Amino acid sequence: MNYGLIVIGGGPAGLKAACSAAEKGLKVLIIEREAQLGGILKQCVHDGFGVIRFGEKLTGPEYAYRDITEVKRLGIECLTGTFVTGICDKDGGFVVETTSAQGIRSDFTEKIALATGCRERTPRQVNIHGTRPAGVLAAGACQNFVNLKGLLPGKRAVILGSGDIGLIMARRLTLEGAEVIGVYEAKATPSGLQRNIRQCLDDFGIPLHLKTTVTDVYGDKRVEAVRVSAVDDSMNPVGEGEIVECDLLVVSVGLIPENELAEKLGLQTDPATKGIAVDQYMMSAGKEGVYAVGNALHVHDLVDYVSEGAATAGADAANTRKRSLVKVGAEGLMYVVPQYVDVSDANEKKTFYMRAPRDMAVASVKLYADGELVAERKLKNVKPPEMLRIQFKFRASDSITLRLEEEE
């Protein structure tokens, strides 16, 4: 079959990109490897989704349901239970290869949106020593067991890492009757949103131990204990630490954009986000016609902004642009997305997403064009876990830089 846009991944990013493209008249196909659409939202039974987009606190499935209803209303074709195994260039477009219970299939599309979400960092990626007993789980996998399969994977849990998923699972496991001994975080400040620290730990009396990590796992068939140790400023364990008895270690040590397909296409990636480098329409800087949206582009903390970026990409898929790209310099920032801007439509308001490298009480983000300050935004209470979203108008120029500066 021939399509105007094939969207790979049926999570909130893929659903919204598909709807926006279909509204512009494109023939769209969504390909999802799981049996149902909705992505990670299917297992997020807590509320807090959609406050910005809908002005309501929805659960993950409720948020996904709204977009799935829209996909159905627009008559968008969906292949579920179908895994994308390869993409290659052909005749100015792309051939997408899939495999499913029905067999192998190839489709042609003019444009592609990569909406494949992200992966969880594993315990092996954070150097925990010991045997490989049962009972060591990534936080998302633990959430899947509890919320989708109705299984409680342990009764006495230690949580390593204070990312949002770990915090949410600390509360979830407690509500399901497990004892959560504590959350251990190697950094000096928590990685999750402030509201999750309050609602998931403080409200349930679960202690958060900063500058502390898990160094060893003990147990043969099943986890019996872990060793927790304080760390120095370079995050190296100091002293002997202490043994904490537990039968479950939940690891929540970060997410990485899922970019296997982007690698197959040889797309330029940004080492800071681990996603591909894009312009303000989320189109790959290196390859026209390929978009990346949602957590496949950069890890978001709020789904509302996932949908916002995906809507921009989907609507743009119906356009033909002659691009004139300028790289966006990022100074004093952990990263900025987009990494490039197409200055052919300068003077229009564009949205930039960025993260600060550390806490700042008062700061400002300044936009420079050809070295001249053209716009500035004051910010209060800046924290790395909370993504910054700033809209700027910029003018056509040869260089654009965003600089984050701490103020007194």
Ligand X SMILES: Cc1cc2nc3c(=O)[nH]c(=O)nc-3n(C[C@H](O)[C@H](O)[C@H](O)COP(=O)(O)OP(=O)(O)OC[C@H]3O[C@@H](n4cnc5c(N)ncnc54)[C@H](O)[C@@H]3O)c2cc1C
Q: What is the DSSP letter of 307?
A: H
Q: Which DSSP state fits 195? A: H
Site string for ligand X, 122-141 (x = CB under 6 A): ------------------x-
**Is the peptide bond between 12 and the residue preceding it cis, with omega within 30 degrees of 0?**
no
Closer residue to ligand X, CB minimum distance, 38 or 219: 38
CB atoms within 10 A of CB 84: 22
Residue from 277, 303, 333, 356 binding ligand X (CB under 6 A)? 303
Of residues 4, 11, 123, 314, which one binds ligand X by CB under 6 A?
11
154 binds ligand X (CB under 6 A): no
- Whole-angstrom Cα distance, residue 291 to residue 319? 13
Size of the site for ligand X (CB under 6 A): 36
Task: Please name every residue paired with 96 in a beta bridge, in sequence order, or none if there are none.
Answer: 87, 107
> What's the min distance (Å) between Cβ of 368 and ligand X?
30
Q: Which of 20, 109, 116, 147 contacts ligand X by CB under 6 A? A: 116
Amino acid at 162: S
Cβ partners under 8 Å of residue 168, min gap 6 = 44, 46, 139, 143, 196, 200
Is 134:223 a contact under the CB 8 Å cutoff? yes
DSSP string over 342-399 = EGGGTTSEEEEEEE-SS-EEEEEEEEEETTEEEEEEEEEEE-TTS-EEEEEE----S-
Q: List the one residue from 19, 40, 173, 336 that touches ligand X (CB under 6 A).
A: 40
Residue 83 engages ligand X in binding (rule: CB under 6 A): yes
> Which one of residues 7, 13, 159, 404 is an interface residue with ligand X (CB under 6 A)?
13
- Least Å from the CB of residue 191 to ligand X: 13
Among 7, 19, 31, 157, binds ligand X (CB under 6 A): 31
Min dist CB 64 to ligand X, Å, is: 8
115 binds ligand X (CB under 6 A): yes
Give the HSE-up count for residue 363: Cα atoms under 13 Å, Cβ half-sphere. Answer: 21
Least Å distance, CB 222 to ligand X, is 25
Q: Which of 225, 190, 223, 217 is nearest to 206 (CA)?
A: 190
Q: Applying CB under 6 A, does 251 fall inside the site for ligand X?
A: no
Among 49, 184, 335, 353, binds ligand X (CB under 6 A): 49
Q: How far is the CB of 314 from ligand X (least distance, A)?
A: 12
Nearest Cα neighbor of 260 from 107, 14, 84, 140 is 84
385 counts as binding ligand X under rule CB under 6 A: no
Residue 161 binds to ligand X (criterion: CB under 6 A): no
Q: Does 121 participate in binding ligand X (rule CB under 6 A)?
A: no
CB of 317 to ligand X, least distance (A): 16
Q: How far is the CB of 336 from ligand X (least distance, A)?
A: 18
The reply to whether 8 sits near ligand X by the rule CB under 6 A is yes
Quick check: 218 binds ligand X (CB under 6 A)? no
Place of tokens 């948020």: 63
Q: Does 308 bind ligand X (CB under 6 A)?
A: no
Minimal CA–CA distance to 28: which of 341, 280, 310?
Answer: 310
Tokens 């051939």 sit on residue: 95
34 versus 62: smaller Cβ distance to ligand X: 34
Residues 6+ apart with CB under 8 A from 247: 135, 154, 155, 156, 157, 222, 223, 224
Told to check if 173 binds ligand X by CB under 6 A, we report no
Of the candidate spans 5-13, 122-130, 207-215, 355-363, the one that interacts with ligand X by CB under 6 A turns out to be 5-13
Query: Could you list the residues that contact ligand X (CB under 6 A)?
Result: 8-14, 31-34, 39-41, 44, 48-49, 83-84, 115-117, 140, 143, 164-165, 168, 258, 294-296, 300, 302-304, 306
